């Protein structure tokens, strides 16, 4: 199971360069000059139009920033990890701006962004911090702006934990958890995600990924198709 989960939002220095460059989803694709399936799906769902102002909160290595910019977006990438900022500073693009800031205090004026993206980020915020973040996202979004979220599914987490317990005494392969699994402090399910967004002033449409976004064992892929309700969550939200 790895390290025990902490209860508070992780600190900026909890995320190292190794986490972003070697351990984080898509690292192998990035080393090959390719984009992960998760980022390609996000681009499909985001529907970037030329000239749109887009904010990526918790942008990490930043490949999604440049994917959006390639499609005509004007993008601001935001992360509060010094390691992420160091990685991001090595690449330049006229349509991409990088800032270091906290997600609970967005340093922007009201009603400025056409779209906000939070890819595999909400699970890193304690619930109270997530509420503050979403309220601020609502503030900086334009009236008809959209928020796109991808996040793990609590129901799937429960299934993985049960699977680990069942096979721990058998000679079957355990699901490989990354060493930073403890940084997922607030994994939501479709019901709790919808409720959290509603409290923050959003109406939302949530759907299951129903397709592999990372490399998985074949037997798990087969289960994924049957138990789709355990797969990761996508969400598109707008201001009420």
What are residue 142's phi and psi, to 5 degrees? -65, 165
- Return the pLDDT at 3: 47
- Return the pLDDT at 111: 98
Distance CA 122, CA 185 (A): 9
Domains of the chain (ranges; CATH) run 12-239 (3.40.50.150)
pLDDT along the chain (240 residues), means of 10: 63 91 70 80 96 97 94 98 94 94 98 97 96 98 97 82 60 52 89 98 92 52 60 94
DSSP output for 57-100: ET-TT-HHHHHHHHTT-EEEEEE--HHHHHHHTT---TTEEEEE
Q: Could you tell me the pTM of the whole model?
A: 0.86
């Amino acid at each position: 199971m790895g390290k025990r989960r902490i209860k508070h939002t992780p600190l900026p220095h909890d995320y190292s360069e190794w986490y972003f460059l070697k351990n984080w989803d898509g690292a192998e694709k990035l080393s090959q000059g390719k984009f992960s399936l998760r980022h390609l799906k996000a681009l499909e769902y985001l529907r970037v139009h030329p000239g749109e102002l887009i904010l990526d909160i918790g942008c990490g290595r930043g490949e999604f920033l440049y994917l959006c910019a390639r499609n005509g977006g004007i993008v601001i990438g935001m992360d509060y990890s010094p390691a992420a900022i160091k990685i991001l500073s090595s690449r330049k693009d006229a349509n991409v701006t990088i800032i270091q800031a906290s997600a609970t205090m967005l340093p922007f004026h009201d009603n400025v962004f056409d779209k906000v993206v939070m890819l595999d980020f909400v699970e890193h915020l304690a619930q109270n911090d997530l509420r503050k973040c979403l309220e601020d996202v609502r503030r900086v979004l334009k009236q008809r702006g959209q928020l796109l979220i991808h996040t793990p599914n609590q129901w799937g987490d429960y299934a993985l934990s049960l699977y680990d317990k069942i096979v721990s005494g058998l000679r079957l392969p355990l699901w490989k958890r990354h060493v930073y699994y403890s940084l997922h402090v607030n994994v939501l399910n479709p019901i709790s995600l919808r409720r959290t967004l509603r409290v923050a002033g959003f109406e939302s449409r949530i759907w299951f990924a129903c397709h592999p976004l990372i490399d998985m064992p074949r037997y798990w892929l087969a289960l994924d198709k049957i138990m789709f309700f355990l797969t990761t969550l996508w969400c598109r939200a707008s201001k009420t």
